[in-house]
Amino acid sequence: MSSTELPRSVAAAAAPKAGPVRVAEGEELRRVTLPGLDLAVRARPATRPGAGPALYVHGLGGSSQNWSALMPYLADLVDGEAVDLPGFGDSAPPADGDYSVPGHARAVIRLLDAAGRGPVHLLGNSLGGAVATRVAAVRPDLVRTLTLVSPALPELLVQRTALPTALLAVPGVAGLFGRLTRGWTAEQRTLGVVRLCYGDPARAAAEDVRHAVAEMERRLQLPHFWAAMRGSARGIVDAYTLGGQHALWRQAERVLAPTLLVYGGRDQLVSYRMARRASAAFRDARLLTLPDAGHVAMMEYPREVAEACRELIAENRPGVAHEEPTDEDGRS
């Protein structure tokens, strides 16, 4: 398999029939075609030679633009790419209709294999955190370090504020919600997302909100918008119920890569109390807690998240000696 730049005519035919996607200054957008996949990849090239590769994976309802605030802070350290998961952002729906966590993980693995960029510094938020955990567990050769921002790992007691999102997985609910909210403007929908995902909605800059509104208007024109939301929400719920070796917590225990966990104290979707369990599950973990952050700390507090990422990445560059973690008895 190979990653290719599509001819303009082919790319135009494959792209969703909606308005153009915003590309911030310093970013590049390209399309990658693989059998059954047509992915949009947002790149923030490194500002110095020899920087290691990084891949960013967004959460449910998000896109590669969710990483635009963080990527500049790491551009001198990594050659960054952020993928739009199948059906999100400017990526086409998967040909097989598989929006499960394993399905999204396979798309990420195929992208990395095709580009030959691994091992990468892999970063994931929410759904993207669950996807990144699975990638790191099943393909350790592809992941140098792992950074998880409010990862969607199973909780026994789901927060009440997260229930409406989970309900999207119930057959018919997404369609019903779409009909009930048909009169909502893109601005109303966007502000609702900001209130849900930010610890302090006032931290969302007015310009960023305007761009988010424009992106929401674009996405609502896509015929697969609700299918991607419904399928991926169902994928998270299904992942919560998996047992055995496929259980996400079991896979977290298998991750070999040094891991940074980032949790926000005001997260309404992933409970702050899960930080302790996650720290115990990942064998080589460090924790950054941001008491005032919500679900998207990399957007609210990009400097603080970047500082922790820089420390992790700097300690795990090629050629830097890294001791194997040991248990309390000193065994590796």
Pair 178, 290: CB distance under 8 Å? no
pLDDT at residue 19, as a whole number: 74
In the chain, % of residues over pLDDT 90: 74
pLDDT at residue 237, as a whole number: 87
Q: CA-CA distance, 75 to 80, in Å (whole number)?
A: 7
What is the average pLDDT value for the chain, to the nearest integer?
86
pLDDT at residue 118, as a whole number: 86
More confident residue, 240 or 30: 30
9 pLDDT higher than 50: no
- Residue found under tokens 């005001």: 266
Rounded to a whole number of angstroms, the CA Rg of the chain reads 19
pLDDT in tens, 45-66: 999 998 999 999 999 999 999 9
DSSP 214-234: HHHHHHTT-TTHHHHHHHHHH
Pair 230, 174: CB distance under 8 Å? yes
Q: Which of 117, 112, 157, 115 is nearest to 132 (CA)?
A: 112
pLDDT at residue 17, as a whole number: 54
Let me know the angle formed at the C-alpha of 297 by 50 and 303, rounded to the nearest 5 degrees: 50
Residues 246-256: b if buried by 16+ CB within 10 A, e if exposed: ebbeebbebbb
Contact residues for 246 (Cβ-Cβ < 8 A; gap 6+): 102
Which of 39-43, 75-79, 155-159, 273-277 shows the lowest mean pLDDT across its residues? 155-159
318 pLDDT higher than 80: no
pLDDT at residue 157, as a whole number: 58
Place 175 in a pLDDT band, splitting at 50, 70 and 90. low
pLDDT at residue 184, as a whole number: 81
pLDDT at residue 82, as a whole number: 98
Q: Which of 229, 212, 247 is nearest to 164 (CA)?
A: 229
Q: H-helix or E-strand containing 252?
A: helix 248-254
DSSP 110-129: HHHHHHT--SEEEEEETHHH
Residue 168 in tokens: 């999207």
pLDDT at residue 195, as a whole number: 94
Pair 98, 90: CB distance under 8 Å? no
Residue 316 in tokens: 């795990």
Separation of first and last alpha carbons in the chain: 37
The model carries a pTM of 0.87
pLDDT at residue 4, as a whole number: 36
pLDDT in tens, 113-164: 999 988 999 999 999 999 999 999 999 999 999 999 999 998 865 555 554 5
Q: How many of the other CB atoms lie within 10 Å of CB of 307?
A: 12
Let me know the angle formed at the C-alpha of 308 by 285 and 109, rounded to the nearest 5 degrees: 65
Residue 297 in tokens: 């700390």
pLDDT in tens, 59-109: 999 999 999 999 999 999 999 999 999 999 999 999 999 999 999 999 999
